[in-house]
């Protein structure tokens, strides 16, 4: 392992082979006519958007999806030519930029269409019409809104309606009544759509949960997000395990200081922890500025394959752990992932923080270098701090 590309003893590892494995498992679950959008928004859920996007496409994903136009342009500038969809709203004045970069964007407001200026476009603008079948965020909700938007699209030959899509709010839950209600709402809208729009369009409705659990409900593409990274979208889906998954993300550090403290000595801000006996205390160079937030006080990490508790308040750049013995400087500390035969899973952190596993890799900040592995070998290191 080489650390020449970064200068701290904290790093994340992203297993690109796991990304490949998870995509292959998803394809085995889907019908032959259904393709995959690899969702790489939010820096690929903290894993690294460019690296994951390239691996996903290499593994068979046909398209990419992001949330922001900025994210899509970053991928284009990295040389990625595959179709890209921005799923979030963009300003109408920025639509020509999307067209210039061959990036599809959503449409769900007639007013947005009306603000587009035809003379600003050099290339055709690709649109995906978003339908709100029950998520309640954005999208058209009835036939009247659909008709208004379709009328606006028909009036503009420099606009192409490429697809329609929706998002399921409860596809990962045990009770499926609302999921079925959303399916019914989609079907009602689609029946009307087919009557007023004769041209063929693509359809993508499924997120990770819906795609894995109900492949028979899927259409031309699914949007493979959280589970592409090896995480099940909910405990319900994890219990069912429709497909096998391999987590791609792990987080590691090293001990930079080890000391013996006496009874009643305090550790960290506020003196919230006091040693009851003689104790070995280790310092780990990672803190809340790196995304290892203060609420993780009391959580555990792995040292020498043993769980050791975080003691005292987590600082901006460091935290302390109670050791079972003296360890040498440089001893590896695993915060997420496997060490020897022990494992700290992202789901465990999510439960401790009373959140969902999606949030955990997303919250690990840019200060933590990402090391990319394929078949157990390091192939790239991405250190944002040293980029010029």
Active site residues: 41, 269
Cα–Cα distance between 97 and 95 in angstroms, integer?
5
From first CA to last CA, the distance across the chain in angstroms is 24
How open is the CA angle 274-276-278, to the nearest 5 degrees?
Answer: 105
Contact 335, 252 (CB under 8 A): yes
Residues 362-374 as b/e (b if ≥16 CB within 10 A, e otherwise) read: bbbeebbbbbbbe
Contact 244, 251 (CB under 8 A): no
Radius of gyration of the chain (CA): 24
Distances (CA, A) of 220 to 34, 36, 41, 95, 203: 5, 9, 21, 25, 5
In a 3-state reduction of DSSP, which class is residue 225?
A: coil
In a 3-state reduction of DSSP, which class is residue 284?
A: strand
* Residue given tokens 């990490």 in the structure block: 301
Cα–Cα distance between 207 and 38 in angstroms, integer?
10
């Amino acid at each position: 392992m080489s650390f020449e590309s970064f200068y701290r003893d904290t790093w994340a590892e992203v297993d690109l082979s796991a990304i490949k494995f998870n995509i292959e498992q998803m394809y085995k679950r889907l019908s032959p006519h259904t393709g995959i959008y690899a969702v790489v928004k939010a820096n690929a859920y903290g894993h690294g958007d460019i690296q994951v996007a390239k691996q996903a496409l290499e593994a068979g994903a046909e398209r990419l999806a992001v949330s922001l136009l900025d994210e899509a342009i970053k991928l284009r500038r990295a040389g990625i030519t595959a179709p890209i969809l921005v799923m979030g709203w963009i300003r109408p004045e920025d639509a020509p930029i999307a067209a210039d970069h061959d990036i599809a964007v959503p449409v769900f407001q007639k007013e947005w269409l009306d603000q587009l200026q035809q003379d600003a476009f050099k290339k055709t603008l690709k649109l995906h019409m978003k339908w709100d079948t029950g998520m309640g965020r954005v999208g058209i909700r009835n036939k009247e809104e659909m008709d208004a938007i379709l009328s606006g699209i028909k009036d503009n030959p420099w606009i192409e309606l490429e697809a329609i899509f929706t998002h399921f709010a409860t596809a990962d839950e045990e009770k499926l009544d609302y999921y079925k209600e959303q399916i019914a709402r989609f079907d009602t809208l689609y029946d009307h759509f087919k009557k007023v729009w004769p041209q063929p369009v693509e359809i993508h409705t499924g997120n990770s949960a819906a795609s894995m659990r109900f492949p028979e409900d899927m259409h031309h593409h699914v949007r493979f997000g959280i589970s592409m990274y090896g995480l099940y979208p909910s405990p319900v889906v994890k219990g069912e395990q429709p497909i096998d998954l391999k987590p791609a993300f792990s987080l590691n550090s090293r001990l930079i200081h080890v000391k013996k403290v006496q009874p009643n000595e305090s550790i960290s801000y506020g003196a919230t922890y006091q040693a009851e006996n003689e104790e070995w205390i280790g310092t780990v160079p990672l803190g809340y500025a790196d995304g290892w937030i203060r609420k993780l006080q009391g959580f555990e990490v792995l040292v020498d394959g043993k769980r050791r508790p975080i003691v005292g308040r987590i600082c901006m750049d460091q935290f302390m752990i109670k050791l079972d013995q003296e360890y040498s400087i440089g001893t590896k500390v695993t915060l997420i992932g496997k060490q020897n035969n022990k494992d700290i899973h992202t789901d465990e952190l999510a439960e401790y923080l009373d959140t969902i596993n999606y949030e955990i890799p997303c919250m690990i900040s840019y200060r933590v270098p990402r090391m990319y592995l394929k078949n157990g070998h390091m192939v790239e290191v991405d250190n944002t701090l040293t980029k010029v």
